[in-house]
Every structure is written in structure tokens, then in C-alpha cells.
Amino acid sequence: MDFKENVVVLTGASTGIGEALAHKLAEQGAWLVLAARNAQKLEVVATECRKRGGRAVVVATDVTDETECRELVERAVAEYGRIDTLINNAGLSMWMKLEDVEDLGSLEYLMRVNFFGSMYCTYYALPYLKQSKGRIVAVASVAARTGIPTRTGYAASKHAMVGFFESLRIEVEDDGISVTIAFPDFVASGMHTRSLGADGKPLGHNPLQVDKIMTSEECARRIVEGAAARKRQIVMSNRSRFGQWLKLIAPGRVDRIAKKAIEKGR
């Protein structure tokens, strides 16, 4: 019950891994601030969190808007008086080769959601996390450590997150703040259906073998456990654990593994 009465600001809480994180944290008695754009979906998640033993407030937030991120933090402090944990989970993916991209604005937008959104929330929450000697969690991806075809902009945004949070970890260590970076492999959620296609619109279908990949619940369980233990990183699949080492001696093989994973959808 590491998160009992722990004030957690959670972005991307309306569905997928974020929703599962909210449920798990609520079961431990966390005091949640649930953020995403879809307030209706957030209200449903909040009701479920209260049933599971947590407290929850909803703050409709578009993380690409710096002001809204500042207001999210202010609302959390107004509601609970402090922030103990910030989980930067809101994210968006893509499924297109660079040569097929019709509008480069799609790739810029991915950067704004995945990287700038995390940066804004973290910047404004930092003074409060210092006071609480709190936790920062960044939900990155295997694409944050290695290249993945059809994911140029997504991988770039996730690599950017890692550079940012690994640097910040050193800056805030003496303040007692921990920074945990999660590297999920493929996870079953609506993210792949919502991934931007070549025309910049959601793909509309999920090319992955959903029954062969990790569930959002399992992914959330591992993130909560890793954050509780203030781990540096949470690597979620054998191939990404193995890939970290293989990349040092045979990077071409890691590229082939990534290519095959996209082709097979698992």
C-alpha cells in the first residue's frame, strides 16, 4: 500500500494503461488527479476509482497546452494541498513510414503530446514534488531506446523523454525526488487504433495480435510496483532486456528484431 493517501497526478487517465494505473492506485487508497482531454471518460474512471477505495478528481487537460498543464498542477494542490507523485503517461503513436507522411505537422504534434506535454507537467509540479520528496514517472516505450520502423516521430519523442528525464533525475536526486522511466513493449490498448496514419488521421484499426501482447492491467501493475520501489527504469519484455545488451555488440540484429515485430504485430 505504498500509495495510500499519496497524491498522484496522472495524465492520460481516460483509457488504456492510464485507466489501469488509476484503478491500481485507487486500490491502494491513492488520492488521484485524473487528467486527459475527454472529461466524460475521466468521470467514469473517477467513479470506479472511488469504488476501489481511492479519492479522485477530474481535470480536463490537453497536455500540449502549457497553461492547461500549469492549471492541472494548481488544481491538484488546491484539492489535496500537495503532490506526491506525477505520472506522465499521456501519449500518442503513429503507424506510417516517413516517405508516406502527407503533413509533417503530424510528427510535430506527436512531439508536443509525448515530449512537451511531459515537460510542462513536470516543470510545474517540480516545486511541490521537492516539498514532498516525491516521485516522477515517465511512461516512455521500447521505442525510446531503439529505432522502430513506422515510428520515426514517435521514437524521436520517446527518446527525447528519456534524455529529459535521465538528466532531470540527476538534478533532483539531492532533493529526494525519484525518477522512474517505464519502457513498455507492445501493450493491448486503443493506442494502436488511434495511432496517426499517413494522412495524419487515426489508423482506425489495430494491426497488432492483441491476444499475444501484454495487457494494460499487467503493464500498469509493473509501473506501480516500479514506482513504489523508486526504480530507475522498468523494462517490460525479455526482448527489450536482451536488446539493450545486444545493441552494444550487434545493433543490426536489434534492427531486424524491431522490423520483424512490426511485420508480425507482436
Ligand X SMILES: NC(=O)c1ccc[n+]([C@@H]2O[C@H](COP(=O)([O-])OP(=O)(O)OC[C@H]3O[C@@H](n4cnc5c(N)ncnc54)[C@H](OP(=O)(O)O)[C@@H]3O)[C@@H](O)[C@H]2O)c1
Residue numbers of the site for ligand X (CB under 6 A)? 11-18, 36-38, 41, 61-64, 89-93, 113, 117, 139, 141, 184, 186-187, 189-191, 194
Least spacing, CB of residue 26 vs ligand X, in Å: 16
In this structure, are residues 31 and 256 in contact, taking their beta carbons and an 8 Å threshold?
Answer: no
Which of 168/219 has CB closer to ligand X?
219
Grid coordinates representing 206 are 489495430
Least spacing, CB of residue 263 vs ligand X, in Å: 16
154 in catalytic set: yes
Least spacing, CB of residue 212 vs ligand X, in Å: 12
State the Cα–Cα distance between residues 209 and 80, nearest whole angstrom. 41
Least spacing, CB of residue 188 vs ligand X, in Å: 7
- CA angle 191/36/265 to nearest 5° reads 5
State the Cα–Cα distance between residues 143 and 87, nearest whole angstrom. 19
Which of 93/178 has CB closer to ligand X?
93
* Catalytic residue, candidates 80, 109, 120, 154: 154
Least spacing, CB of residue 184 vs ligand X, in Å: 4
Which of 4/241 has CB closer to ligand X?
241
Q: Please state at what angle helix 251-264 crosses helix 238-249, rounded to 10 degrees.
A: 150
Mapped onto helix, strand or coil, the DSSP state of residue 129 is helix
Which of 131/237 has CB closer to ligand X?
237
Q: Please state at what angle helix 66-80 crosses helix 117-132, rounded to 10 degrees.
A: 30
State the Cα–Cα distance between residues 237 and 142, nearest whole angstrom. 9
**29 burial level (CB within 10 Å; 0-12, 13-18, 19+):** middle
State the Cα–Cα distance between residues 58 and 213, nearest whole angstrom. 30
State the Cα–Cα distance between residues 225 and 219, nearest whole angstrom. 10
In this structure, are residues 216 and 17 in contact, taking their beta carbons and an 8 Å threshold?
Answer: yes
Amino acid at 108: E
- The residues that are catalytic are 154
